[in-house]
Amino acid sequence: MARTIIPFGPQHPVLPEPVHLDLVVEDEKVVEARPSIGFIHRGLEKLVEKKDYQEFTYIAERICGICSFIHGQTYCQAVETIMNLPVPPRAHYLRTIWGEFSRLHSHLLWLGLMADALGFESLFMHSWRVRERVLKIIEATTGGRVIFGTCKVGGVRRDIGPEAAADILKELDGIESDMREITRVFLKDRSVKDRMCGVGVLTKEEAYELGCVGPTLRASGVSQDMRQLGYAAFHELRFEPVTRTDGDSYARCAVRCGELFQSVDLIRQAFARLPGGDIAVKVTGNPNGEHIARTEQPRGEVVYHLKANGTKNLQRFRVRTPTFANLPALLKVLQGCELADVPVLVLTIDPCISCTER
Amino acid sequence: MGYFTLTRLALKWALSKPVTTRYPFEPRQPVPGSRGELAFTKESCVYCNICAKKCPTGALVVNRAGKRWAIDRLLCIRCGYCVESCPKKSLSLTPSHGTIAITKDREWF
């Protein structure tokens, strides 16, 4: 059988992310996928030598437009550890709350994109309708819809008052019931299941060996979640990683659906335990040292490596993003799949290429 | 496993008002607490230049001798770093996102 190469991306209607894949196909079967990334490299890691370490929080947040807050949080956590800053517990809780809201809006966005890739446009609209409710809470509490801008070295910039907290919890009930309605369609509908069940199976061993992270790893049955490390306020909150054992596209969707409700539960727990006190400490001096920070983003584990030499500019800044870790798994599941399943499979790892290329 | 699982939701929303608005005929109401346009109060400003030094994008220019302050609206990312650092509280972020900047000129105050 003659082999043909079909280019997929960087501009593709199903995927707003600029990833390019050369799909080697035999008839309608994909034999091999060759990725090429680097279309939107912005050189953010190099910028650390030009910007003040406190100012750099803004740039760290802008690495990604969806998991922006957790990028800023990870950066701040790394600098705070190097500088030994006693971050107030209230700031830790507020970071946890905003981090979980960030996860909620990211997963709802993904569900919408997934429905769009399946051709289920009304479900896509409903997912994004619910996401809009989450974004309104985020805008009212932080001032931005996707770029929160509330995290800073030493704490957070804004506080959530008791009245605002009560309003958020009330709104959260409505969001939860809305989410129940839409996730029911994702998990029960025959047309959705037909497109996802048994498509792109990744076994537990493969997922582990290929170094997958986040929902892609948990869908294959590995119970690993960086929030278990107990950063921010997670050491005081009760949760179990959402896992599935099937390892197919449906399992990856089910993990994300489960994490929506887990996030709502974590936000409720965090509000119930929210301590009083300051939200930030005064930061003086410059960092001197090296640290590796790991946090759980909506897409999986992100690793930050920071090296400082006592000046106001950091010496080295390096990020390992979750999408980069999940790309080998994507290439694995694309081998032998049907050409029509490629968009669904690319979406199931929730690729965020602007993170990956920085 | 089921068919027509979205029917109930679709029927419910077929009888409800749409959540989308007819923008720009119906302007979006600013959300209180949103980081919108940067507002400047000329009366209290001492032209210390701290805001211009702190601005991560270099959107602000302060002319100390001529007692003038300027902003490049296209460069401003509305982060609020200048608002935090202003010693005289002359700067603030309004919830309204203001008019769209269409020229590259700086707005002088």
pLDDT at A345 over 70: yes
Flag residues of chain B having pLDDT under 70.
1
Beta carbons of A151 and A61 less than 8 angstroms apart: yes
Q: Which pLDDT value is given to residue A74?
A: 93
pLDDT of A1 strictly over 80: no
Spell out the residues 6+ positions from residue A185 whose beta carbon is closer than 8 angstroms to its own: A123, A192, B5, B6, B9
Mean pLDDT of A115-133: 90
Residue B17 lies in a domain: no
**Domain CATH number, residue B108:** 3.30.70.3270
> Using omega within 30 degrees of 0 as the cis cutoff, is the peptide bond preceding A10 cis?
yes
Tell me what ipTM this predicted complex has.
Answer: 0.85
Give residue A231's pLDDT. 87
Name the closest residue on chain B to residue A148, using Cα atoms.
Answer: B79
Mutation pick from B4, B20, B35, B77 vs chain A, by most beta carbons of A within 10 Å, is: B35
Residue B76: inside a domain = yes
DSSP sequence for A309-333: ESSSSEEEEEEE-HHHHHHHHHHHH
Residue B99 lies in a domain: yes
pLDDT computed for residue B97 by the predictor: 80
Residue A119: pLDDT over 90? no
Chain B: residue nearest A158 by CA?
B33
Q: Into how many domains does chain B fold?
A: 1
> Is position B51 within any domain?
yes
Average pLDDT over residues A336-341: 86
pLDDT digits (tens, 9 = 90+) for A189-231: 888 888 888 888 989 998 999 989 999 999 998 988 888 888 8
Q: What ranges in chain A are assigned the alpha helix state H?
A: 56-61, 68-83, 89-118, 121-142, 162-188, 190-196, 204-209, 214-218, 249-273, 322-334, 342-348, 353-357
| CA pair distance B6, A90, nearest whole angstrom | 41
Q: What global pTM score does this model have?
A: 0.90
For A40-69, write each residue's pLDDT tens digit. 888 888 888 888 888 888 888 888 888 889
Locus of tokens 């809780």: A93
pLDDT of residue A97: 93
CB contact under 8 A, B35 and A181: no
Q: Cα–Cα distances in Å, from A120 out to A167, A182, A338, A341?
A: 33, 12, 20, 15
- Find, in chain B, the residue whose alpha carbon is nearest to that of A150: B79
Range of the domain at B52: 30-109
Averaged pLDDT, A82-96: 91
Residue A173 has pLDDT above 90, yes or no: yes
Q: Which domains, and CATH codes, for chain A?
A: 38-326+341-357 (1.10.645.10)
A229: phi > 0 → left, psi -120 to 50 → alpha, else beta; which?
alpha
Residue B97 lies in a domain: yes
| Residue B20 is assigned to a structural domain of this protein | no
In a domain, B11, yes or no: no
Amino acid at A84: N
Q: What is the mean pLDDT of chain B?
A: 85
Residue A15 pLDDT: 74
When CB atoms are compared, the residue of A59, A129, A188 closest to B5 is: A188
Confidence of residue A93 (pLDDT cuts 50, 70, 90): very high
pLDDT of residue B1: 59
Q: What percent of chain A has pLDDT over 90?
A: 35
Write the pLDDT tens digit of every residue in A230-246: 888 898 898 889 999 98
Res A78: pLDDT: 92
Among B1, B33, B77, beta carbon nearest to A190: B1
Closest CA to A297 of A221, A354, A352, A240: A352
Residues 6 or more apart from A268 whose CB is under 8 A from it? A169, A172
**Phi then psi dihedrals of residue A280, to 5 deg:** -155, 155
Closest B-chain CA to A149 = B79
Task: Report if residue B50 sits inside a domain.
Answer: yes
A47 lies within 8 A of chain B by CB? no
| Interface residue of A47, A53, A54, A55 to substitute, partner B, most B CBs within 10 Å | A55
